[in-house]
A = this chain, B = another copy of it.
Amino acid sequence: MKPIYIPKRDFDRVRHIDRQRAWRARLFADMCRINTLYMIQTAGSGHIGSSFSSLDMATWIYLHELSLGDGIEHAYFSSKGHDCPGLYSVLMACGLLSFDLIHGLRRLDHLPGHPDVGTPGIVANTGSLGMGISKAKGMVHADRLQGQNGRRVFVMLGDGELQEGQIWESLASAVYSGMWEITAIVDRNRIQSDTWVDLTSPQGSIEDRFRACGWRVESVDGHDFTALESVFAAVAEEREVPQVIIAETRKGNGVEKFVHTVAPSEDIPYAYHSGALSQVDYDHALRELRERVVSLFAEAGAEAPQFLTGPGKEPVVSAVNIQRLLPAYEKSLVELGDEIEEVVVLDADLKYDCGLGAFANRFPERFFECGIAEQDMVSRAGAMALKGLLPVVHSFACFLTTRANENIYNNATERSRIIYTGWLAGLIPAAPGHSHQGVRDIAALTGIPGLDLVAPSCVAEIPMALNYAAKVTSGSTYLRMTSMPTSVPYALPESYVFTRGRGCELVSGSDVVLTAYGPIMLAQAFKAAELLAKDGILAKVMNMPWLNVIDEGWLKKQTEGATCVVTIDDHYVDGGQGCRIAASLIRSGLSFERGVHLLGVNEIPACGQPQEVLEHHRLDGASIASVVKKVVKGA
């Protein structure tokens, strides 16, 4: 069936049903689950497991803990941020966020894929993990200075998130400053992105660790509303130290099929971490939730709520020659492992998102799952490299290149050889929002001697790049990888030889040179060239996979005689490849009648569907063509 949602007025009715608070909250939360699923199905992506896991607690907090009648508006936010579809559903149900936005999860100018303060009701940008308690402390510092004494801050943490060192870095000083205003909640559903926490990187006794830092520790069943009522009442009395509530929960709670039921000793990937549901799963989940909701309304003698359908999804744009870099990389990595026994693979809880399953299965003793601990992972890799191994280190580009930035540089100063592979690089997919868009990885990895940055343009270029990184260079390499399956309307020339600092021509043309890298922007450049050709402008499209290395003599030959050069970055313009190309051209003594123009991202990237976000940043083929036309015609 089509995705359905429950309108605001039915939530309002629930708040007035004459039942116990726990009974009402339970119903409210299940109704929010239905709306959460509606949003995720409409968006085509979003985190179900995490949303459902923390939803009962978020519901309770918004219904009963933020306005305690003391005249103070207390604050709540989710540090993990992945549960924001669930959070949005609660905010909308409580009237804190416009209900119309229910149709716009992960769409341009609507609801971002991770929390952003531009959204009403959201008080901190999260989704980058581990920052929550630090932010809560900053809020309390400010409240105290500004005379808002007694304002409490509730912050939701994931139990996988506890692997991030900043959490533990932030604990002790909250005690030193006597921050009783802070209540952290650990949503201990025991499953992280890939599988069980205890099979990824178990964290010892979380209770004892918090306690050893001086925190008050409480435990609760995070789905038992009566117990929640008690535990929040207990911590509300605390006036000396910060508190943490360790909540035992079930990832995906609310729909039995979404709850992991195998034993924690069995390493089975959790299927409902992110992404929309299959039609079968959606129908199944909706049936279960609706039955429960309807029966609770009936139990209270109230009329059943409405179940509405929305305006429906955007039609999917058809695309040709879709390429998936992920399986191609997965295959190449195994081949590399077969060939070079020193190859070891490190991961930060993104085994499936980084294409590491096959390697892990084939070489379990050479696969190191580090959990969500990028700094630790990168420093471990550094030591392994010094001992003669060849580590290949993985995470999403946005996390790997920034969270472990000092660690990557420290490794570089040891002059060892390491391969860093950053997935989810670039503007697209833009649906997860700016915490997950890797549009400053090139900049962040700049100024690291011996580190080459390479972006494969298509499936065929992956083994070439890996081969270079593993066998040709004696330095380190960063592979910048596109996660989104992409229509690739070009092919590498048959004569192409992958050569440091050089690229290749994908489309020939004599008027204008367009440079780009990676499949997303190369496809747009290709499209731009097609459009320009209709206007009689012949654009040469160059694949430039080397992001921080340019063979100046070669580039000079490729560009000499053109009217203008237009560089396209799948990255902020500042610190991107275009800046380096422009510098190289003037160093080569070239000038162009119509100049050199740098396209790319110039503001915090928008969240949304691929085409709308490309258009928003004027990086779609048509926008690029229109810029080039203006430049060429001198308009």
Where the two chains meet, the residues of A that have a C-beta atom closer than 8 Å to any C-beta of B are: 116-117, 123-125, 128, 130-131, 134-139, 141-143, 145-146, 163-173, 175-176, 201-205, 207-209, 211-214, 344, 365-366, 368, 370-371, 373, 375-384, 386-389, 398-399, 402-403, 405-407, 409-410, 412-415, 434-435, 439-440, 442-444, 446-449, 548, 571-572, 574-576, 578-580, 582-583, 585-587, 589-591, 595-598, 602-604
Contact = CB atoms under 8 A, between A and B. Distances in A.
21 contacts: A116-B413, A123-B386, A125-B413, A125-B414, A131-B375, A134-B379, A137-B380, A141-B383, A142-B384, A143-B387, A146-B389, A168-B168, A169-B375, A170-B376, A176-B201, A207-B212, A211-B212, A440-B446, A446-B572, A446-B575, A587-B597
Contact of A117 (B146, B344, B384, B414): B414
A475 to B, nearest CB: 11
Contacts of A384: 138-139, 141-142
Given A165-B168, A444-B447, A201 B173 contact: yes
B213 A209 contact: yes
Contact of A386 (B117, B203, B440): B117
A383 B145 contact: no
Copies of the polypeptide in the assembly:
2
B376 A169 contact: yes
Contacts of A370: 173
B591 A587 contact: no
Contacts of A405: 402-403, 405-406, 444
A138 B169 contact: no
A587 B580 contact: no
Q: Looking at A123, A131, A398, A576, which has the most chain B CB atoms within 10 Å of its CB?
A: A131
Given A173-B201, A589-B595, 5 more contacts: A131-B407, A176-B201, A211-B212, A442-B447, A583-B596
A311 to B, nearest CB: 29
Q: Which 8 A-B pairs have the closest CB atoms?
A: A138-B383, A165-B169, A165-B165, A446-B575, A168-B168, A208-B212, A134-B379, A440-B447
A171 B375 CA distance: 12
Contacts of A170: 165, 373, 376, 379
Given A128-B406, A203-B172, A446-B443, A138 B572 contact: no
